[in-house]
A and B are shown apart, each in its own frame.
Chain A
Amino acid sequence: EAGVAQSPRYKIIEKRQSVAFWCNPISGHATLYWYQQILGQGPKLLIQFQNNGVVDDSQLPKDRFSAERLKGVDSTLKIQPAKLEDSAVYLCASSSAANLNTEAFFGQGTRLTVV
């Protein structure tokens, strides 16, 4: 079974530029999560989708971050404009349902460096 795919693996951009990350969840998984993991910290949930609808985006900095999952399958997370403090690993995860009896599977992440 293919896992959660993310691209690119690494990205370096200058501050004030824009960047986009892509995630393809495990086939059939209805729930998709984006997490931000700053160096030395645990992951922080940015946004959770159930199919193509947003369940929780309370910790998403909406002035610069946006995410979509138009067809309820793959998802894109965008940052525009980027700040130095956005340097982090962005992890995508998916699960078959939005409850804790179902395991969330994580991708390898995209490491973003803003200079």
Chain B
Amino acid sequence: AQSVTQLDSQVPVFEEAPVELRCNYSSSVSVYLFWYVQYPNQGLQLLLKYLSGSTLVKGINGFEAEFNKSQTSFHLRKPSVHISDTAEYFCAVSDQAAGNKLTFGGGTRVLVKP
């Protein structure tokens, strides 16, 4: 069975500082990995995804993530955050054995301070 662990439930960060959100997964087969963002009172929006190929994935709004198979991680980074990046971020995993069903982590709330 697949699972996702987001190690930090909350991450406070100052504007223009870098941020890294950690995500570790477990799965017995090849995986597909995703990061979603959820702004207050909104649905989820896809930031980026890793299906295959280059392990460094670039997404929208200046975010990027790196797939590390040996460490079973898919950490999300942004070199300089804005106030508008205040939101909750979810890591998700899927694999063909699960019928491409997404399993989400518990989320990391990012609070950007001026």
Contacts and interface: CB of A to CB of B under 8 A. Distances in A.
A42 B43 contact: no
Main secondary structure on B side of the interface with A:
loop
A98 B98 CA distance: 13
Contacts of A98: 100
Contacts of B92: 42
Interface in B34-58: 41-46, 49, 51
Interface residues of A, number: 23
A72 interface: no
Contacts of B49: 100
B32 to A, nearest CB: 5
Interface string A1-27: 000100000000000000000000000
Interface of B: 4, 9, 32, 41-46, 49, 51, 90, 92, 94, 99-102, 104-107
What 7 A-B pairs have minimum CB-CB distances, sorted nearest first? A42-B104, A106-B43, A106-B44, A100-B32, A107-B43, A108-B43, A43-B104
